[in-house]
Every structure is written in C-alpha cells, then in structure tokens.
Amino acid sequence: MVARWVPFAAGAGALAVVATVAVVALAPRETLPPAPTDAPDLLFATQAAAPPLAAEPTGPGPIGLIDPTWVESTAAVTGIPHQAVLAYAGAVVNAEENFPGCGIGWNTLAGIGYAESDHGRHGGATFEENGHVSPKIFGVPLDGTTTEEIPDTDGGEFDETADIDRAIGPMQLIPSSWRSFPSDGNGDGVPDPHNIYDAAVAAANYLCRASGDFTTREGWAAGVAAYNSAGSYTGIVATAAQSYYDASVAG
C-alpha cells in the first residue's frame, strides 16, 4: 500500500497509511519548521545512547528499568512530558532485547510520538497516573474518502467504530497493527494501545522489525518510512528527533 499525505482536518496535520500502520500527524502544540525532503542531513537523526538503568527496578514492565532521575532531567530539557520520556526509554530498552542490534534511540521514538500526537497531548489530552491518555486519541475513519481505505478489523474493540478502522492511541497504530504487537510497557498485565507505555513498546517493536539498524542513515530512513513513507513526515521526525538529541546532550 502506498502512503498518501492528505489533510487530516482544517488547520490540523495530515494522515497517511503505510502497510498496516496508520500515521496521523495531529497538529503539535509547537509546530516545527518544515524540513525539505532534498536535505539529506534532515532525513536522519543521531541516535541517543541507551537510557541509563535504575540501580534496582522501580516497578514492573520495561519502564521499571529506567533511571527516574534521568527521566526527569530529560523531560526538563526537551519539554516532553515525563510519562512519554519514560515510555520511549522503556520501549527502546525492551526493543533492543527483542531485536538485538536495532539501535533505535529513544529520541527517534520521541520524534515519531511528536509527529503522531504531540506526545499524547493532541486535543488537550493528558496522561493519567498509569499512562492512559485521556480522552482517547483517534484518527479519522479510514474510509477511502481522503485516506486509504482500511475495512474494520477489530469490531470496534480498540477504535470504537465497528464499520471502518481508524488510527488509535498516542502512537496512532491501526487496530490490525496493534494486534500484531500487543504490548505491556507498564507491567499491569493489560496491553492497551491508548496507554503511552504500551503503545510506545508496540511502536518500537514495529520499527525494529522494519529496520534492523537505526544507527545508519539507510536503516533509519527505512524504519521511519515503514511507519510513514511520506518524505515530509520523515523530515518532521528527523528534525524533532535531532532536536531532542541535541537538547539532551547539552543538558
């Protein structure tokens, strides 16, 4: 299936579908400058080092492995909500265990989270203590009108519409993608695509399966293109991911 970059809504972002993943750029709070698709340096982001681990697990699931002091300092310098920083960090640590050598940095996953839903804040959504996003974030119906057509695959179980699919959650996976990568990032035993901890793990696993090496320009581009093949999307993710890397290094 070929991605198409089409309007999501007046004044909002855009929507495209690639393979089994629906990607919705949902008007971030602070819009980054557009990145030209012919600028190679903007189609790759330096991968951040692996997040530091806590001396002792602070809780169940991948997020329990991450040093909480690092999470708070990274959130402070990047402006990313601390729940999202924790989710991205836990997800990349988990992905490296499942896909050794993938090398995806938390900052690339954050770049995608920025493009998808402004890190779970689209439409004024906020995080509950357990990582659930409230209210839930949905994309437009994928009915073929302004998007690729994706017939219903979940009976409304995840996207709350039984006649057609739509993208779900802070990482904007479509239901069939979520079914392929059901994930439990916070260790509560209940995989939920509307939970930032769970959705980030699913997205990281999807990306690492799509590309085995995010540390190379070619591998990075291939992985992000598997999520959304539009050049403009790749540029937005690269710009955001590089800015998060630079901010974290500068401290």
Average pLDDT value for residue range 181-205:
96
The answer, yes or no, to whether residue 227 has pLDDT greater than 70, is yes
The answer, yes or no, to whether residue 40 has pLDDT greater than 60, is no
Distance (Å, whole) CA 183 – CA 203? 9
SS3 percent helix, strand, coil of the chain, rounded to 5, is 40, 10, 50
Contact 16, 3 (CB under 8 A): yes
Q: Whole-number mean pLDDT of the chain?
A: 84
The answer, yes or no, to whether residue 130 has pLDDT greater than 60, is yes
Predicted pLDDT of residue 116: 94
* Contacts of range 243-246, beta carbons closer than 8 Å, 24 or more positions apart: 243/32, 243/78, 244/48, 244/78, 244/80, 244/107, 244/110, 244/111, 245/45, 245/46, 245/47, 245/48, 245/105, 245/107
